[in-house]
Amino acid sequence: MSISPQFCSVLLGIVMSGCGSQVPVSEWAVTSIVVDRDAGSLAACSYTKLEASQGTGIKKVGLQNAVVLALESGAVRMWELTFTPETDARTQVDYSAVQRPWGPHTGTQEIMNEVRACSGDPDKVVGVGTRGGRE
């Protein structure tokens, strides 16, 4: 009995299609900071800085009580930043990096530094933390 090349191609296509799937957001490691600046202007400034440093592909979505910036490559979301107002002048920023088959997106420090630079006083961050993620 022989296996046809078409069968092998189909099987390989099925196996490979699972390699590009995203991990649910709940399984991403999350880094958080709180800065003294309103969410809208902080997100706008961060978008401008990140587009210059990370290139095109950054999406900006305004939600009811948050702004989300996300870098996407094709159908894969590499990372996302969520800007949530704590008060009119204070914002919590959550950074989530997708866990890819070859490891997480590197650049957390660089991305968060861009956000801090938009805070008006990059040396003054009210809070910093990490939560969640897969081990």
Q: Inform me whether the pLDDT recorded for 48 exceeds 90.
A: yes
- Whole-angstrom distance, CA of residue 3 vs CA of residue 62: 52
What the chain holds in terms of domains, given with CATH numbers, is 21-132 (3.30.160.110)
What's the pLDDT at 23?
43
User: Tell me: the pLDDT tens digits for 55-64?
Assistant: 778 999 999 9
The pTM assigned to this predicted structure is: 0.68
119 within 8 A of 16, measured Cβ to Cβ = no
| Helix (H/G/I), strand (E/B), else coil: 109 | helix
What's the pLDDT at 127?
52
Q: If you average pLDDT over residues 6-23, what whole number do you get? A: 41
Element (H, E) at 43: helix 39-54
- Whole-angstrom distance, CA of residue 31 vs CA of residue 57: 21
| Helix (H/G/I), strand (E/B), else coil: 70 | strand
What's the pLDDT at 77?
82
The encoded tokens of residue 31 equal 């880094």
Burial of 42 (0-12, 13-18, 19+ CB in 10 A): buried
- Whole-angstrom distance, CA of residue 28 vs CA of residue 9: 32
Summary mean pLDDT of the chain: 74
Q: Inform me whether the pLDDT recorded for 10 exceeds 70.
A: no
Helix axes 39-54, 108-117, angle to 10 degrees: 130
Q: Inform me whether the pLDDT recorded for 47 exceeds 90.
A: yes
Q: Give percent above pLDDT 70 in the chain.
A: 61
User: Tell me: the pLDDT tens digits for 63-104?
Assistant: 999 999 998 878 778 889 999 999 999 999 999 887 566 655
Res. 53 pLDDT band, cuts 50 70 90: confident
Radius of gyration of the chain (CA): 19
